[in-house]
Structure 1
Amino acid sequence: MTHIFLMIVNDPAFFISHRLAVAQGARKAGYKVHIATMDGEAVKLITDEGFTHHLLPLSRSGSNPFFEFFALFCIWRLLWRLRPDILHLVTIKPVIYGGIAARLAPVRGVVAAVSGLGYLFLSKGSKATLLRKVVSFFYKVALGKRNLRVIFQNPDDRDLLIGLGVLDPDKVEMVRGSGVDLSLYSFEPERLDSLPVVCLAARLLRDKGVLEFVEAVRILYQRGVKARFQLIGDIDPGNPTTITEAEISTWREEGLIELLGYRKDIAKLFTDVNLVTLPSYREGLPKVLVEAAACGRAVVTTDVPGCRDAIEPDVTGLLVPMGNALALADGLQLLIENSVLRQSMGAAGRALAEGEFDLRKVVQQHLDIYSKLERASNHE
């Protein structure tokens, strides 16, 4: 008898970039794999992979309660139709809505992937505090199913939800990131015959530290540091912390940073740079830092949950305080001007990627969790 596997992800593009290999691994393990997402161009890539796709009325924002309840109802209806043996929920809305629906539907085992607690848990003020209490309540309901495991990418997010009384510690699983295909992200020596190239590759959001990066570049130019600086990524109108078109235009006119926009060829871009930075405010475990390590590139990142878990401090990269452009500039300058240290950290980063971030290892960790849930459901 073929077992049914259903993965629900908000964004089909995120599924392709971060969870495709896991779904392929589940299929290879004998599951009939279904993927459910909101609409988007990447849906065709999902069906081209041979997976059965289901369209859900999910949205990245959620201001209309009737629309959100309808999304929850559609997930519940899908669960009753498929009756999955394993339900894997990825990103905040699928985790909450799918977790609640799974308590009211014939689902044998649930995996909830908390890949970062996101914007809401960074925000301050009374409104944000109230929203966190509401979201924490829904997390507690969603994660209450007995045969359920919650995957965290860093211990801070795990400890936060346990500390809030949202989660039973016995349900916790730790998987260090989404993994990287080491055959695609090869380690090639840096080019040392031209100006060092420093890049930040991320969605252009304030909480990715983009403004601190721009200010750090200005500081380095004032100091006379010789390097090229690249910003790789696009604005995200659906996110309240997005950089604006006006800011992009200002930076373009300023001419200090090369604005490359959204790119898919990150492996090649990292091969052509000398140093990668991500001054983010909070992450699950950022894939871009894993990719940098796989390419043998040293990094400068912030001492915050997720980012610090993606490196070995002072071995594969440097940690600087969050929101501090001056400290970021100091860290970048140190590695721009010290090629020996930079290359040593890059080599150590590749070793870290081979030991901890190999995609095959990450996929197997997921399959082991599925097997654990299957065994538990057989004993119920």
Structure 2
Amino acid sequence: MTDKLLMIVNDPAFFISHRLAIAEAAKEMGYETHIATMDGEAVSSITDKGFIHHLLPLSRSGSNPFSELFSLFSVWRLLWKVKPKILHLVTIKPVIYGGIAARFAPVKGVVAAVSGLGFVFVSQGIKATLLRKVVNFFYKLALGKKNLRVIFQNPDDCAVLTGFSIVDRNKAEMIRGSGVDLNLYSFMPENMSQTPVVCFAARLLRDKGVIEFVEAVKILQLRGVAARFQIVGDVDLGNPATITPAEIATWRDEGIIELLGYRKDIGELFTNANIVTLPSYREGLPKVLVEAAACGRAVVTTDVPGCRDAIDPNVTGLLVPVRDAMALADSLEELIQNAEVRQRMGIAGRALAERAFNIKKIVQQHLDIYSKLERASNCE
């Protein structure tokens, strides 16, 4: 009988952008590969690639307890239907619901990918503190299966969950991000004849640092710094930290930033840019910075978990304090004014991508974990 792999991801578009290469490699290895997601336009892309797709009633921000219980039940029912040899869970709700359901279903081995501790862990206040306690409790329940591995993208997130005894240290694995196809994101020298272009690319969430970026642009405008500034990305109305359409309309009216919206041609945009920035509050290991490195672009990002792990500080980019628009403006100005430093950092960034972020290496690390879980289940 063919072994089955079931990968559960909230968003089908996220699967395509961040986990497709792993699923394709598993399929080539002989796994009967199943993908379960919420509904979305990218579902057709999943089925077109020959995967068996299952719809789940998941939402990224749902707070109705009855809906969430139904989501948990639906995951449990799917596990009994598929009976996977390996269950691969990606993003917070699949990790929690899938991890809990797997303890009461015929699943041999579980991979839980913690791709950043996210909104719950960067928010402040009493409500956020209480929510973290609840999430920690469910994480501990979900990650308690014996034959399980938890993939972390940076050591800080690993330290948080192992420090609270949520994850046993011998179950923790470290993989630096989702990788990048070095053929699709190729190195091209900067266009030195143009006004320097600074590109911010991310979902338009407050915890991505978009407000600080806009403030930094205004500071640089007042200083008379000659550069073009771009925001690539769209609002995410399913996330409580989203930027509002009214704020975007204000920025458009101010006319100092080019608002490009959601784009699929990130590699081309970075090739046409000179600097990439992501002043996020916390990440797993941001794919956008990996893509910037592959394209050979200098980076300015924040000295926080995930972001600092995506660069070699002062070699491939600069680190700034989180939530500090002035420091962000200073570092952006430093690179805008110094093409030689930018180019040196870009060359070093490409070398970093080849050394640490090659998609082939990242995929193989995942397949090795699958094999490790299979061997453990055969010994039971």
Structure-1-length-normalised TM-score: 0.99
CA distance in 1, matches of 2:125, 2:290: 33
Which residue number in structure 2 is paired with residue 243 of structure 1? 243
Partner of 2:40: 40
After TM superposition, the structure 1 = structure 2 runs for residues 203-218 of structure 1, keeping only pairs within 5 Å, are 203-218=203-218
What pairs with 1:29-178 in structure 2 (closer than 5 Å)? 29-178=29-178
Tell me which residue corresponds to 2:285.
285
Q: Residues of 1 paired with 2:134 and 2:93: CA distance?
A: 13
Matched with 2:326 is 326
Deviating more after overlay: 336-345 vs 61-70: 61-70
Equivalent residue, structure 2, for 1:376: 376
Alignment gaps of 5+ in structure 1 = none
Partner secondary structure for residue 193 of structure 2: coil
The alpha carbon displacement at 1:175 in A equals 0.4
Shift of 1:280: 0.3
Which residue does the alignment assign to 2:231? Answer: 231
TM-aligned CA deviation for residue 316 of structure 1: 0.2
Which blocks of at least 5 consecutive residues in structure 2 are unaligned?
none
- The offset of 1:226, in angstroms, is 0.7
2: CA distance, partners of 1:239 / 1:249: 19
**CA deviation string 1:45-78 (max 9, x = no partner):** 0000000000001011121111111111111111
The equivalent of 1:311 in structure 2 is 311
Structure 2: how far apart are the matches of 1:319 and 1:80?
Answer: 47
User: Per the alignment, in what secondary structure is the counterpart of residue 327 of structure 2?
Assistant: helix
Corresponding letter in the other structure for 2:379: H
Question: How many corresponding residue pairs?
Answer: 380
* Per-residue deviation, 1:194: 1.4
What is the CA–CA distance in structure 2 between the aligned matches of 1:251 and 1:59, rounded to whole Å? 29
Task: Name the stretch that deviates more: 127-136 or 38-47.
Answer: 127-136
CA deviations over 1:204-241 (Å, ceiling 9, x no partner): 11111001000100111111111100011111111111
State the AA in 1 paired with 2:4.
Answer: I
- Aligned residue for 1:149, secondary structure, equals strand
1:351 matched to 2:351? The reply is: yes
Q: Note the C-alpha offset of 1:100.
A: 0.3
Structure 1 letter corresponding to 2:296: G
* 1:202 partner amino acid: A
Give the secondary-structure state (helix, strand or coil) at the position aligned to 1:256. coil
State the SS of the aligned residue for 2:107.
coil
Cross-structure match for 2:22: 22
Work out the CA distance in 2 between the residues paired with 1:94 and 1:159.
21
Q: Distance in 2 between matches of 1:138 and 1:277?
A: 34
Aligned-residue offset at 1:278 = 0.2
Deviations 1:243-265 (A, max 9, x none): 11111111111111011011000
Give the secondary structure class of the aligned counterpart of 2:226: coil
CA–CA separation in structure 2 for the residues paired with 1:254 and 1:81: 54
SS at match of 1:282: coil
Q: CA deviation at 1:367?
A: 0.2
Residue 52 of structure 1 aligns to which amino acid in structure 2? I
Give runs of aligned pairs for residues 334-349 of structure 1, distance below 5 A.
334-349=334-349
What amino acid maps onto 2:274 in structure 1? N
Q: Secondary structure at the match of 1:104?
A: coil
Pick which of 62-71 and 92-101 moved more.
62-71
Residue in 2 that maps onto 1:259 = 259
**Mapped partners of 2:319, 2:364: distance in 1:** 30
What's the counterpart of residue 184 of structure 2?
Answer: 184
Aligned to 1:301: 301
Paired residue for 2:9?
A: 9
What whole-Å deviation, never above 9, does each CA across 1:333-369 have from its counterpart, x for those lacking one? 0000000000000000000000000000000000000
Per the alignment, in what secondary structure is the counterpart of residue 263 of structure 2?
coil
Moved runs in structure 1, 4+ residues, more than 6 A? none
DSSP-derived class of the 1:260 partner: strand
SS of the residue corresponding to residue 19 of structure 2 reads helix
* In 2: Cα distance, 1:280 partner to 1:156 partner: 15
Provide the C-alpha distance between the structure 1 equivalents of 2:47 and 2:201, rounded to a whole number of angstroms.
28
Larger mean CA deviation between 150-159 and 117-126 belongs to 117-126
Cα displacement string for residues 15-43 of structure 1 (whole angstroms, at most 9, x for unaligned residues): 00000000001101110000000000100
Q: What amino acid does structure 2 have at the position aligned with 1:359?
A: I
What secondary structure does 1:200 align onto?
Answer: strand
Percent identity at matched positions? Answer: 75
Q: CA deviation at 1:141?
A: 0.7
| CA deviation profile, 1:170-192 (whole Å, cap 9, x unmatched) | 00000000000000000000000
- Alignment-derived partner of residue 195 in structure 2: 195
How far apart, in 1, do the equivalents of 2:269 and 2:127 lie? 41
Tell me the amino acid that sits aligned with residue 125 of structure 1. Answer: G
